[in-house]
Structure 1
């Protein structure tokens, strides 16, 4: 289920959730990099002077504090109980490729779920949305009797899947086919692909692992409109990458019920990129590493303070601007890394012009950053830890809100057999939920 037990239906749930996020907007509705700039921590009203929040075992729910009591009383109303994941010792990942334990686990269990769902309905073909290098498709071939059509938009992945098949899996070539195709809501030519590759196809299932951004919604819409689509089994992720447009998002809210609540409660103020980014965060955090989380959070926030003081924007020079894993929570090392990992750009008349490097010599930048860091009081570190733990506590409720909207949308379209199910081990793969629907 995805509706918390205390609510009669989606309308009440959506409305009460808006009340919740309005009350605690200050905990999420901004980029976390602006934590210090926005003085967010001042709103966490707790006495932490005598508390060792960085102890090895720390349970924030056990603190006797009015602020936390009120917060968790409000949050727990949105708690959702999914059926526990069940390990299957008989499942094996059968593809000889050097993948991570996480990836092998996801592929094996998704293929198994596909077999369980589609084995009892009029479905003989699986259409894999975002088939990548074809690992899921080959696993399905080795463990089921279904035909597989892999659709992949990336040329390199598509070519790689074809080459791998010809080299290692030649026995699958009659039952596993690949097509380079960019999936869009109007991709009705999927039926033409099926007619060409598997002319005897009676019914198909749309499947997908790591259906990023809008791909899950595109899959839902195609499942609804295509006559021979019998089932949908897809694992959504990366909600923060949903396409933006017209002051909101293209595919969120999705259901009529949430759209009505969105209008009534000025949802555009709260259902923002930071909201979706929090919904996407891994829901489980090891408390013994809270110091690392706080260091990373405040270090980046210090850079933002510095940029703000100089009326500048920060831009990364590379994907990993700072090598966090090698710094051992040393801010001097962080600052030295940041000098090379970021560039400053002036905020000037709506245009960004790069600051001339001579105006900000490297040693001056490092000294200024270290000065800001050293002025941070110990209480700020403790409140930052509380902030991290509260966000982590909110994540499952935020993710459920996003996913339940999609479930309600399907129900509004007449699909009664639909649910979210935990099909992989959440300790191995945080994005453990699959949307499963049948006609």
Structure 2
């Protein structure tokens, strides 16, 4: 998704925020407060009439752009169409630009005996992300003539290992946990040991071993002071799901430092963004700062959920385990009426089971806060009455989730506009499979 004109981005952000302002009341509903705050009555009457007896499976189909099987309120249809029109597309259309040279097999990239070399110790979701992210980084590095990268939040070093040993880039990883850094170095040596069994000594001598730095990054000036070798004086900056304010921090370093030739960063944990102060992570751009751009914690939290996977579950009729939301909401009413100070108490998280009674659930959930079970029959009677409305709980949660892509769009476009205001090109591409990796957009900017 590429915008050549800042005015296009500004217009899209402004229209998105107008829709969000109209539905702040919905975005800000916590599921566990469903009965305490009577969420059902907060819906417009026409919505309540339409959704009261609707099977959640049908609602999943509607949110997946399938034709509705009944008449729906125009205000709801307008909302769904607006979110769909304004949100950044989420389906992957990215195709790697660089070509693989299959003639030269004497390297870690093409040797047939080493094709699984980078898959060890890596789970399926991470394999997908690393593979796609590496392709984007290599393409961007080639376009900018830059052959070095720094990965922030590198963990066990899986991504930098691919970029260094497979793609011949000079790579460094920054990780705040010392244990992960030490383990990453061990995995480098393990990979080299295996590779040297299959490639020539000459090829082995040319392998680029990645660097690993153990640093807790709190300001972008720390990146300037890294003891980098001459081969990494200019570099690209990459971040695969840096949490909260760390993504914005990397973007700030990119625009401030001439040594950073490009950046590829994927968002994560928007609810942890700071929204006030000099180092705020949202909003970043001057333009959005001047708008009524507030995004509440609940709205940023719901924007991190997996809408495609959720709707697929609804459409398959696999939603009975979502009853657990109603269990928690019914327990919340009991807790608040027992003692208002227990509102949002950190009860134990319990998975749903068809054989689980409400009493069983409450007994397990209350273990953490050591609260005895209620003894009044009327309390249990109303609890079971609440549970009969579990489909309504699912409906309200689903309606909130329908707005999630629009909230994420505002966060991402604000970051994009921040870069464009500094005079640099920027684009947002949906690269990962959203069913495997819900935060699937990569912000790509070049100096």
1:252 to 282, 307, 315: 282
Shift in Å at residue 58 of structure 1?
5.2
* 1:302/1:369 contact within 8 Å kept: no
Contact in 2 for aligned 1:127/1:151 (Cα 8 Å): yes
Change (3 A) 1:377 1:322: closer
Query: Aligned residue for 1:349?
Result: none
CA RMSD, Structure 1 to Structure 2 (Å): 3.2
Tell me the distance in 2 between the aligned counterparts of 1:234 and 1:24: 29
Q: Which structure 2 residues correspond to residues 27-426 of structure 1 after superposition, within 5 A?
A: 27-44=26-43, 45=45, 46-48=48-50, 51-55=53-57, 59-60=61-62, 62=68, 63-66=70-73, 67-81=75-89, 84-85=92-93, 94-169=117-192, 175-190=209-224, 192-194=226-228, 198-243=229-274, 245=276, 250-262=280-292, 267-268=293-294, 271-284=295-308, 285=310, 286-287=313-314, 288=316, 291-292=319-320, 294-309=322-337, 310-313=339-342, 314-316=344-346, 321-324=348-351, 326=353, 330-340=357-367, 342-343=368-369, 360-362=371-373, 364=375, 370-376=380-386, 378=388, 380-416=389-425, 418-426=426-434
Contact 2:150 2:236 in 1 (8 A): yes
Partner SS for 1:84:
coil
Distance 1:154 1:87, change over 3 A: same
DSSP 3-state at the match of 2:134: helix
Give how far 1:28 is off.
Answer: 1.3
Please, what TM-score do these two structures have when normalized by structure 2? 0.80
Q: Hey, what's the Cα distance between the residues in 1 that align with 2:429 and 2:378?
A: 50
Is the 1:2–1:400 contact (alpha carbons within 8 Å) kept by the matching residues of 2? Answer: no
Cα separation, partners in 2 of 1:87 and 1:227, compared to 1, 3 Å = closer
Alpha-carbon shift at residue 325 of structure 1 (Å): 5.1
Q: Retained in 2: the 8 A contact 1:234–1:436?
A: yes
**8 Å CA contact 2:156, 2:184 repeated in 1:** yes
Contact 1:93–1:139 at 8 Å: present in 2 too? Answer: no
Give the gaps of 5 or more residues in structure 2: 101-108, 110-114, 194-203
Bigger relative contact order (CA 8 A; separation at least 6): 2
Q: Distance in 2 between matches of 1:253 and 1:163?
A: 40
The total of aligned residue pairs comes to: 405
Q: State the TM-score, normalized to the length of structure 1.
A: 0.82
Runs of at least 5 residues in structure 1 that lack an aligned partner in the other structure: 344-356
Cα distance change on mapping 1:80 and 1:297 into 2, 3 Å:
same
Change (3 A) 1:369 1:290: farther
- Cα deviation 1:52-107 (Å, max 9, x = unaligned): 4145885236141225234324434423336733578x996632523321111111
State the distance in 1 between where 2:174 and 2:91 align.
Answer: 31
Question: Shift in Å at residue 178 of structure 1?
Answer: 0.7
Q: Which residue of the partner structure matches residue 352 of structure 1?
A: none
